Structure 1
Amino acid sequence: MGHYLSTDAPPGMAMYASEGVLAAMAAATISRGHASLLCALRPGTQEGALKALLALPSLPGVEDLMRGIEAKAVALPKAAFNQDDCGKCRFNSTNHAQLFGTSIEPGMCVNSECATSKWETHLEQLREQLAAKHRIIRIAPVSQHEHFRSVVPEGPFGLGQEQARACREECQEFGAVLCGTVSTPTYVLEDVCTNMACHVQKVELARKEGLLASRDRLWRAALVQHLSLLPRATNRAVLMAMLSCGWSAPRDLRAAADLDEQATPAGVLKRWLSMAESELIEHLAGAAGKLVAGAPAHQVGEMLRALHVKLQDYSSMSREFLKRLSVSEIDEVLGDLNVPVSEELRRAKRAGQEAYAAAAMASVSNEMLDGYVPRMFRY
């Protein structure tokens, strides 16, 4: 190469050092340690790194150069691509101590172009495996794997049955994500939404719809149970009010009243008038229950108010309910229950809804919820 190397020079230095690196070492501009680290790189990279070193106000130490090269190298034990031909490669730092003397930590690849090519091949193989199942397949850094959520109907991030089905079958944002980089494992996330903003909105909508559905079930169940406790005259008045305002009975009312297909109004009247009062009230409540089941929710609430029904007599809450609430709704419940705002609750609130719900559950006992009806459930 035109530059003298001592006989004790590492074998790889003569084989792989660039002209510039040898010249700089011969002129004592850099040390043999610097040269050993540089000549492990690709020839073009050696020259660029040397030029950058010499442009600095003062020459970095060998240890500093070593750390800089390691920071840009690919850690092979963490990489997901095929490494069958990496073992004896001259760019594998495991071989550098023998080839060059001074070296970075073993198990590092200093040829980023080759490593990137292998990683892209690895991704393409994964993409081909997933293509038959998913419309879209995206690639994202490992640091972003939490930016994607599974499309599920139930749970903290549930979308409801219908919305989850629509997302899976129709949405162009539903698919798979390959999370990783050239120097990290690759995480395959399947059946996920890749549009977090949209997913958050739909989860919130499903959460609110779920709460409304729970409130609706409570209202209807409370009204039906309350009707069974009313005197006969009041029960009749309630039935008249329901029917006069268009509350319609479903087709299975006959079954609820234990009637056969041949029953006539006169026959039913005769039968019911012969019943004991308690039995008649039970049948009237069954008929009213069927009317309640199909009535508009807001009218059910109005009926509860007109009858002065105490929802707490028919409601049973548990701490699990807190998981379904937003941060502001949890605030509301804790305020209603006079729960002191501890530092732990403040930290959990800053961490987000899941952490806040968990902390709230730890601060509230089921006994505290006995007889409590959340504001969003009240009529």
Structure 2
Amino acid sequence: MQQQNISHMRVSNIRQGRNPRAYFDPVEMAEMEASVSAKGVIQPILIRPVEDWFEIVAGERRWRAAKNVHGDNYEIPVLVKNITSEEADELALIENIQRANMSPTEEAAAAARILGRCEGNRDEAANRLGWTRKTLDKRLALMNCSLSVMTALNERKIQLGHAELLAATPKDRQEKVIANLLSRPSLPTVAIFKAGLEEISQAMSLAIFDKTDCASCHHNSGNQQALFAEAVSAGHCTNSECFNKKTEDVLEAKKQSLAENYPCVVIVRPGENNTVIKLVAEGATGVGAEQAAACRSCKSYGAAISAVPGKVGNVYESQCFDSSCHTRKVGEHLLAEKKSAENPTTVPTMAKSADLKVVTGKGAEKSTTTPKSAMTSVQDTQRVVEYRIGIWRKALKKELFADPHKNLCVLIGVMMTRGGTNVSSTKLATGFESLTSQKPPVSNVGDAAAMVANANDTVRAQMLSGIVISITDSIEKSHLPEMLKFMQVDLVKHWKLNAEFLELLTKSEIEVIAEELGLRAALGEKYAKAIGGKKDEMIKALLAVKGFVYEGKIPKALQFTA
């Protein structure tokens, strides 16, 4: 649907959008309806075309008032913009903030969605919203508020300070505290509430760290009771700095431990719920079995460690940290299933290799077809790139040395296109000395030429080959595929699966290689046991599969194209 210049539109042709505002104050709405009844809607609302209707981006209160006062046939002034869902979210949030009276929890929910689209980059999200980083952090922390606390804040029954304090406690405790707060004849000040809340915070029972040292610590309220009559109830830590540091140390240790298994490991804090999503093959958020397998090697695939009160230390595996990409893959899978249903005879049955162990959504049915095979390979990291370039250079040197004719062709080609700046005089001099037992002069070109002239034809031929071989160490890596292709290098002759390569990868990436090269299929029922141990044990098992032919199998991550 193309953008249109529409100045007025029937209320019935417009639907509610993704408004971050969840609560509409009855008094304010009554005032607006009175104004709309007397003067109509003066300022246009912002809408966007969505399929066969129009969706509100900004101005829902005006639309509601017009609908209530004048009915569905009322012609409301509109401004139409053809924008994406992401742009609509940002505009709606900014518009509501600028108009004030929007609840902080409503701002938090919308900001969390935008943070997800920024792949967890808080500085970028704050910049998009026009907020300071401090404001963004405080709003996102509110995402840990329970529904009752959010509702109370939305309806202005508690203050922002109360909600911020409650957000730092587990949700089950929030429910009890908020019920108590709202039942009181008067609301305590934030300062008084903070003092009372501290008495039930940092329960030792919730600590994820070793509590051996806490047994004799004077900050342990259980020990204080013997000394102070007004000590807090037993089993709580009164030293928040120490408690939080010990907690962070455990979270970081878990992160380091999981880094061996996954390309991406993230400690997820309150408000970052939209930066991570469970990777599943089927169901409403499924990406398909083959794509789910391919995702395991992605730099955004991994594990989440919760830092959210009530769930601190919990580990959630098989997570995707790129919500935008995930949304695209879900859409592609849904489209593929739709086409498959419409044309079942044109879609090939999924290969047996796709029956890998991927998580499926609750109650989801497994797909049996796929119109397109997902590209399954280890994604480039710096360590993989460096290893691959090293393999290419070694293979190229051997092929150049074995074929003098092509060696000469490459040398002339390099001189015509790249110049002689990549030739290593040190390596050539060292090579000449090893061939003739004569040390060439450092700076006298004439003397050096005379020494070459006095050498035999074999030495000169080898030195000529050595020129281009020396170039391969310094020539730009972007030109290596061109040279490899010209030399018709077959990497099968120069490489086979080894521990050095596998040690560069995480366990999830190693699984991708095992699937790609056929090791999983070769192991059959023994595969689960082979990959179940530590990384070094896993590598050892995969390199010792009886009957498996390792030669001739090059992973996509090491192949070249030109």
TM-score in terms of structure 1 length: 0.46
TM-score in terms of structure 2 length: 0.33
